[in-house]
Protein backbone atom coordinates (compact mmCIF):
# COMPACT_ATOMS: atom_id res chain seq x y z
CA UNK A 1 0.00 0.00 0.00
CA UNK A 2 2.83 2.38 0.79
CA UNK A 3 4.38 1.78 -2.62
CA UNK A 4 1.05 2.32 -4.36
CA UNK A 5 0.53 5.54 -2.41
CA UNK A 6 4.03 6.72 -3.30
CA UNK A 7 3.45 5.88 -6.97
CA UNK A 8 0.15 7.81 -6.95
CA UNK A 9 1.86 10.80 -5.36
CA UNK A 10 4.64 10.68 -7.94
CA UNK A 11 2.11 10.58 -10.79
CA UNK A 12 0.24 13.53 -9.33
CA UNK A 13 3.51 15.42 -8.98
CA UNK A 14 4.45 14.66 -12.60
CA UNK A 15 1.04 15.84 -13.81
CA UNK A 16 1.39 19.03 -11.79
CA UNK A 17 4.89 19.70 -13.14
CA UNK A 18 3.94 18.98 -16.77
CA UNK A 19 0.55 20.68 -16.84
CA UNK A 20 0.74 23.69 -19.15
CA UNK A 21 -2.19 26.11 -19.02
CA UNK A 22 -3.15 28.43 -21.86
CA UNK A 23 -1.87 31.99 -21.93
CA UNK A 24 -4.44 34.77 -21.79
CA UNK A 25 -5.46 36.39 -25.08
CA UNK A 26 -4.77 39.86 -23.66
CA UNK A 27 -1.23 38.88 -22.66
CA UNK A 28 -0.45 37.37 -26.05
CA UNK A 29 -1.88 40.30 -27.98
CA UNK A 30 0.13 42.73 -25.89
CA UNK A 31 3.28 40.81 -26.76
CA UNK A 32 2.71 39.84 -30.40
CA UNK A 33 0.06 42.17 -31.90
CA UNK A 34 1.62 45.01 -33.85
CA UNK A 35 -1.62 46.94 -34.29
CA UNK A 36 -5.34 46.35 -33.66
CA UNK A 37 -5.79 47.02 -37.39
CA UNK A 38 -3.97 43.77 -38.11
CA UNK A 39 -7.19 41.84 -37.52
CA UNK A 40 -9.38 41.30 -40.58
CA UNK A 41 -13.00 40.36 -40.05
CA UNK A 42 -14.27 37.74 -42.48
CA UNK A 43 -17.86 37.78 -41.27
CA UNK A 44 -19.20 36.89 -44.71
CA UNK A 45 -16.98 33.86 -44.94
CA UNK A 46 -18.70 30.76 -46.32
CA UNK A 47 -20.59 28.84 -43.62
CA UNK A 48 -19.09 30.89 -40.81
CA UNK A 49 -20.73 33.71 -38.93
CA UNK A 50 -17.51 35.31 -37.77
CA UNK A 51 -13.78 34.68 -38.15
CA UNK A 52 -11.13 37.23 -37.28
CA UNK A 53 -7.89 36.67 -39.11
CA UNK A 54 -4.60 38.02 -37.79
CA UNK A 55 -2.48 39.35 -40.66
CA UNK A 56 0.12 41.98 -41.42
CA UNK A 57 0.69 44.06 -44.52
CA UNK A 58 3.98 45.72 -45.42
CA UNK A 59 5.27 47.52 -48.47
CA UNK A 60 3.47 49.65 -51.08
CA UNK A 61 -0.22 48.81 -51.48
CA UNK A 62 0.15 49.35 -55.22
CA UNK A 63 3.00 46.85 -55.53
CA UNK A 64 2.67 43.26 -56.75
CA UNK A 65 1.07 41.21 -53.99
CA UNK A 66 2.81 38.38 -52.14
CA UNK A 67 0.83 36.18 -49.74
CA UNK A 68 2.97 34.20 -47.30
CA UNK A 69 1.64 31.00 -45.69
CA UNK A 70 3.45 29.46 -42.72
CA UNK A 71 3.81 25.82 -41.72
CA UNK A 72 2.43 23.65 -38.92
CA UNK A 73 2.92 25.15 -35.48
CA UNK A 74 4.32 28.41 -36.87
CA UNK A 75 2.86 31.89 -37.34
CA UNK A 76 3.27 34.97 -39.53
CA UNK A 77 6.41 35.78 -37.50
CA UNK A 78 8.31 33.04 -39.35
CA UNK A 79 8.73 35.48 -42.27
CA UNK A 80 10.08 38.36 -40.17
CA UNK A 81 13.60 38.36 -41.63
CA UNK A 82 12.32 38.27 -45.23
CA UNK A 83 9.85 41.12 -44.98
CA UNK A 84 12.18 44.18 -45.17
CA UNK A 85 13.68 43.06 -48.50
CA UNK A 86 10.40 41.85 -49.99
CA UNK A 87 8.48 44.96 -48.93
CA UNK A 88 10.70 47.33 -50.89
CA UNK A 89 8.82 46.57 -54.10
CA UNK A 90 5.94 44.28 -53.08
CA UNK A 91 2.76 44.35 -51.09
CA UNK A 92 3.63 41.68 -48.52
CA UNK A 93 0.68 39.97 -46.84
CA UNK A 94 1.30 37.37 -44.14
CA UNK A 95 -1.28 35.76 -41.92
CA UNK A 96 -1.80 33.35 -39.06
CA UNK A 97 -3.81 30.45 -40.45
CA UNK A 98 -6.75 29.42 -38.22
CA UNK A 99 -5.52 27.37 -35.28
CA UNK A 100 -2.20 29.20 -35.17
CA UNK A 101 -0.84 32.45 -33.79
CA UNK A 102 -3.24 35.21 -32.81
CA UNK A 103 -5.97 34.08 -35.23
CA UNK A 104 -6.80 31.27 -32.83
CA UNK A 105 -9.08 28.33 -33.54
CA UNK A 106 -11.68 28.23 -36.31
CA UNK A 107 -15.11 28.17 -34.62
CA UNK A 108 -16.31 25.72 -37.28
CA UNK A 109 -13.68 23.13 -36.31
CA UNK A 110 -12.99 22.59 -40.02
CA UNK A 111 -9.25 22.52 -40.76
CA UNK A 112 -9.36 20.83 -44.15
CA UNK A 113 -7.26 22.09 -47.05
CA UNK A 114 -10.47 23.12 -48.80
CA UNK A 115 -11.39 25.33 -45.84
CA UNK A 116 -7.98 27.02 -45.95
CA UNK A 117 -8.30 27.55 -49.71
CA UNK A 118 -11.76 29.08 -49.28
CA UNK A 119 -10.39 31.39 -46.61
CA UNK A 120 -7.55 32.48 -48.89
CA UNK A 121 -9.99 33.19 -51.73
CA UNK A 122 -12.15 35.24 -49.38
CA UNK A 123 -9.13 37.17 -48.08
CA UNK A 124 -8.03 38.05 -51.61
CA UNK A 125 -11.53 39.31 -52.37
CA UNK A 126 -11.52 41.39 -49.19
CA UNK A 127 -8.14 42.91 -50.12
CA UNK A 128 -9.18 43.56 -53.71
CA UNK A 129 -6.61 41.17 -55.21
CA UNK A 130 -7.37 39.59 -58.55
CA UNK A 131 -3.98 37.85 -58.54
CA UNK A 132 -1.15 37.24 -56.13
CA UNK A 133 2.11 35.38 -55.77
CA UNK A 134 1.77 32.65 -53.16
CA UNK A 135 4.72 31.68 -50.96
CA UNK A 136 4.21 28.70 -48.66
CA UNK A 137 6.35 26.65 -46.31
CA UNK A 138 5.53 23.02 -45.43
CA UNK A 139 1.78 22.94 -44.61
CA UNK A 140 1.53 26.43 -46.11
CA UNK A 141 3.23 25.10 -49.24
CA UNK A 142 0.60 22.40 -49.61
CA UNK A 143 -2.21 24.93 -49.25
CA UNK A 144 -0.45 27.23 -51.74
CA UNK A 145 0.01 24.65 -54.49
CA UNK A 146 -3.47 23.23 -54.03
CA UNK A 147 -4.89 26.76 -54.32
CA UNK A 148 -2.81 27.38 -57.45
CA UNK A 149 -4.17 24.16 -58.96
CA UNK A 150 -7.79 25.00 -58.11
CA UNK A 151 -7.57 28.70 -59.05
CA UNK A 152 -4.81 29.06 -61.69
CA UNK A 153 -6.15 32.44 -62.78
CA UNK A 154 -5.60 33.87 -59.27
CA UNK A 155 -1.90 32.92 -58.91
CA UNK A 156 0.79 34.55 -61.05
CA UNK A 157 3.82 32.95 -59.34
CA UNK A 158 4.26 30.17 -56.81
CA UNK A 159 7.09 29.67 -54.32
CA UNK A 160 7.14 26.38 -52.41
CA UNK A 161 9.53 25.98 -49.50
CA UNK A 162 9.90 22.30 -48.53
CA UNK A 163 6.18 21.84 -49.27
CA UNK A 164 4.02 19.08 -47.86
CA UNK A 165 1.78 17.03 -50.12
CA UNK A 166 3.33 13.71 -51.05
CA UNK A 167 2.61 10.75 -48.79
CA UNK A 168 5.05 9.77 -46.06
CA UNK A 169 5.01 7.01 -43.42
CA UNK A 170 1.80 7.35 -41.43
CA UNK A 171 0.14 9.65 -43.98
CA UNK A 172 -1.21 7.53 -46.83
CA UNK A 173 -3.34 8.97 -49.63
CA UNK A 174 -7.06 9.37 -48.99
CA UNK A 175 -6.74 8.11 -45.43
CA UNK A 176 -7.03 9.92 -42.11
CA UNK A 177 -3.86 9.41 -40.07
CA UNK A 178 -3.89 8.04 -36.55
CA UNK A 179 -2.68 10.49 -33.94
CA UNK A 180 -0.68 8.78 -31.17
CA UNK A 181 -2.26 8.94 -27.72
CA UNK A 182 0.87 10.60 -26.35
CA UNK A 183 0.44 13.47 -28.79
CA UNK A 184 -3.13 13.97 -27.61
CA UNK A 185 -1.71 14.95 -24.21
CA UNK A 186 -0.33 18.18 -25.70
CA UNK A 187 -3.77 19.68 -25.04
CA UNK A 188 -2.82 19.69 -21.37
CA UNK A 189 0.96 19.39 -21.26
CA UNK A 190 3.49 21.31 -23.34
CA UNK A 191 6.35 22.56 -21.17
CA UNK A 192 8.89 24.66 -23.03
CA UNK A 193 11.64 22.02 -22.83
CA UNK A 194 9.33 19.50 -24.48
CA UNK A 195 8.56 21.91 -27.32
CA UNK A 196 12.30 22.53 -27.78
CA UNK A 197 12.83 18.80 -28.32
CA UNK A 198 10.25 18.82 -31.11
CA UNK A 199 11.32 22.14 -32.64
CA UNK A 200 15.08 21.65 -32.94
CA UNK A 201 14.90 18.90 -35.61
CA UNK A 202 13.38 21.50 -37.95
CA UNK A 203 16.78 23.23 -38.12
CA UNK A 204 20.11 21.91 -39.34
CA UNK A 205 21.75 24.20 -36.81
CA UNK A 206 19.99 23.74 -33.47
CA UNK A 207 21.56 26.94 -32.11
CA UNK A 208 19.06 28.83 -34.27
CA UNK A 209 16.49 27.93 -31.60
CA UNK A 210 17.27 30.88 -29.36
CA UNK A 211 15.38 31.49 -26.11
CA UNK A 212 13.47 34.27 -27.85
CA UNK A 213 12.42 32.08 -30.79
CA UNK A 214 11.45 29.20 -28.50
CA UNK A 215 9.41 31.53 -26.28
CA UNK A 216 7.48 32.89 -29.27
CA UNK A 217 6.64 29.43 -30.59
CA UNK A 218 5.65 28.31 -27.11
CA UNK A 219 3.54 31.36 -26.31
CA UNK A 220 1.53 31.20 -29.53
CA UNK A 221 0.98 27.48 -29.19
CA UNK A 222 -0.61 28.30 -25.82
CA UNK A 223 -3.15 30.69 -27.35
CA UNK A 224 -6.50 29.36 -26.08
CA UNK A 225 -7.68 26.57 -28.35
CA UNK A 226 -4.59 26.38 -30.58
CA UNK A 227 -3.29 23.07 -29.24
CA UNK A 228 -6.63 21.39 -29.80
CA UNK A 229 -6.80 22.98 -33.26
CA UNK A 230 -3.40 21.53 -34.22
CA UNK A 231 -4.65 18.06 -33.29
CA UNK A 232 -7.90 18.60 -35.18
CA UNK A 233 -5.99 19.71 -38.27
CA UNK A 234 -3.77 16.61 -38.14
CA UNK A 235 -6.82 14.38 -37.67
CA UNK A 236 -8.49 15.92 -40.74
CA UNK A 237 -5.58 15.48 -43.15
CA UNK A 238 -6.64 13.49 -46.21
CA UNK A 239 -3.91 13.71 -48.80
CA UNK A 240 -5.08 13.58 -52.39
CA UNK A 241 -2.70 12.20 -54.99
CA UNK A 242 -0.68 15.29 -55.94
CA UNK A 243 0.25 14.56 -59.56
CA UNK A 244 -3.12 15.32 -61.23
CA UNK A 245 -3.44 18.51 -59.20
CA UNK A 246 0.11 19.72 -59.77
CA UNK A 247 -0.37 19.29 -63.51
CA UNK A 248 -3.12 21.92 -63.37
CA UNK A 249 -0.73 24.63 -62.13
CA UNK A 250 0.08 27.13 -64.86
CA UNK A 251 2.15 29.63 -62.84
CA UNK A 252 5.95 29.43 -62.79
CA UNK A 253 7.12 27.66 -59.63
CA UNK A 254 10.25 28.07 -57.52
CA UNK A 255 11.07 25.21 -55.16
CA UNK A 256 13.33 26.10 -52.23
CA UNK A 257 14.66 23.22 -50.15
CA UNK A 258 17.29 22.80 -47.44
CA UNK A 259 19.47 19.77 -48.10
CA UNK A 260 19.44 18.99 -44.37
CA UNK A 261 15.63 19.01 -44.06
CA UNK A 262 14.84 16.25 -41.57
CA UNK A 263 11.05 16.71 -41.76
CA UNK A 264 10.37 16.64 -45.51
CA UNK A 265 13.48 15.35 -47.31
CA UNK A 266 14.92 17.23 -50.26
CA UNK A 267 14.50 14.05 -52.36
CA UNK A 268 10.77 14.93 -52.47
CA UNK A 269 11.66 17.86 -54.74
CA UNK A 270 12.01 15.45 -57.66
CA UNK A 271 8.36 14.44 -57.23
CA UNK A 272 7.36 18.06 -57.87
CA UNK A 273 9.73 18.88 -60.72
CA UNK A 274 8.67 15.69 -62.53
CA UNK A 275 5.08 16.91 -62.97
CA UNK A 276 5.13 20.72 -62.75
CA UNK A 277 4.99 22.40 -66.14
CA UNK A 278 7.32 25.30 -65.29
CA UNK A 279 9.51 24.84 -62.23
CA UNK A 280 13.00 25.51 -60.96
CA UNK A 281 14.67 24.05 -57.88
CA UNK A 282 17.15 25.77 -55.60
CA UNK A 283 18.75 23.59 -52.91
CA UNK A 284 20.20 25.35 -49.88
CA UNK A 285 23.27 23.57 -48.47
CA UNK A 286 23.44 23.04 -44.72
CA UNK A 287 19.87 24.26 -44.16
CA UNK A 288 16.87 22.52 -42.58
CA UNK A 289 13.10 22.79 -42.89
CA UNK A 290 12.74 26.53 -42.21
CA UNK A 291 15.13 28.43 -44.52
CA UNK A 292 13.35 31.74 -43.89
CA UNK A 293 14.37 31.51 -40.23
CA UNK A 294 17.63 29.57 -40.37
CA UNK A 295 19.23 31.12 -43.46
CA UNK A 296 17.17 34.20 -44.26
CA UNK A 297 19.67 36.01 -46.48
CA UNK A 298 20.86 32.90 -48.35
CA UNK A 299 17.29 31.83 -49.11
CA UNK A 300 16.18 35.34 -50.06
CA UNK A 301 18.57 35.62 -52.99
CA UNK A 302 17.03 32.90 -55.21
CA UNK A 303 13.56 34.13 -54.23
CA UNK A 304 14.29 37.73 -55.26
CA UNK A 305 15.90 36.53 -58.49
CA UNK A 306 12.78 34.45 -59.27
CA UNK A 307 10.48 37.40 -58.61
CA UNK A 308 12.56 39.64 -60.88
CA UNK A 309 12.67 37.03 -63.63
CA UNK A 310 8.88 36.66 -63.72
CA UNK A 311 7.71 40.25 -63.39
152-191 pLDDT tens trace? 999 999 999 999 998 776 567 777 767 766 667 777 888 8
Average pLDDT of span 260-289: 96
Statement: 33-309 belongs to CATH 3.40.50.720: no
Read off φ and ψ for residue 152, nearest 5 degrees. Answer: -60, -25
Q: What is residue 17's predicted lDDT score, i.e. its pLDDT?
A: 55
pTM, two decimals, is 0.91
pLDDT digits (tens, 9 = 90+) for 186-244: 778 888 998 999 999 999 999 999 999 999 999 999 999 999 999 999 888 888 889 99
Q: What is residue 3's predicted lDDT score, i.e. its pLDDT?
A: 52
Ranges assigned E (strand) in 18-165: 39-41, 52-58, 65-69, 91-95, 132-137, 155-161
Q: What is residue 169's predicted lDDT score, i.e. its pLDDT?
A: 61
Element (H, E) at 256: strand 253-258
**Calpha distance 136→264 (Å, rounded):** 14
- Domain residue spans in the chain? 33-309
On average, the pLDDT of the chain sits at: 90
Report the relative pairing of strands 253-258 and 155-161 from DSSP bridges. parallel
Ranges assigned E (strand) in 83-226: 91-95, 132-137, 155-161
HSE-up of residue 51 (Cα within 13 Å, Cβ side): 28
Distance in Å from the first CA to the final CA of the chain: 75
Contact between 290 and 78 (Cβ < 8 Å): yes
pLDDT over threshold 80, residue 98: yes
Residue 57, C-beta contacts closer than 8 angstroms, at least 6 positions apart: 91, 92, 93
Amino acid sequence: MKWLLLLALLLLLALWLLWTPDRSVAELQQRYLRSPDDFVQLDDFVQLDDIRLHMREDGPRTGPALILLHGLGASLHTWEDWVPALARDHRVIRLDLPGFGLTGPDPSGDYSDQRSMDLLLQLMARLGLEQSTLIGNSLGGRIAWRFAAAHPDRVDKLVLISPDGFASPGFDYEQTPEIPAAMQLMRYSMPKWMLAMNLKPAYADATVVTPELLTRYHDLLLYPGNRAAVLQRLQQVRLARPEPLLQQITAPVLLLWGDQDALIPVSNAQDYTAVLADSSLHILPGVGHLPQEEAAQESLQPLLAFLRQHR
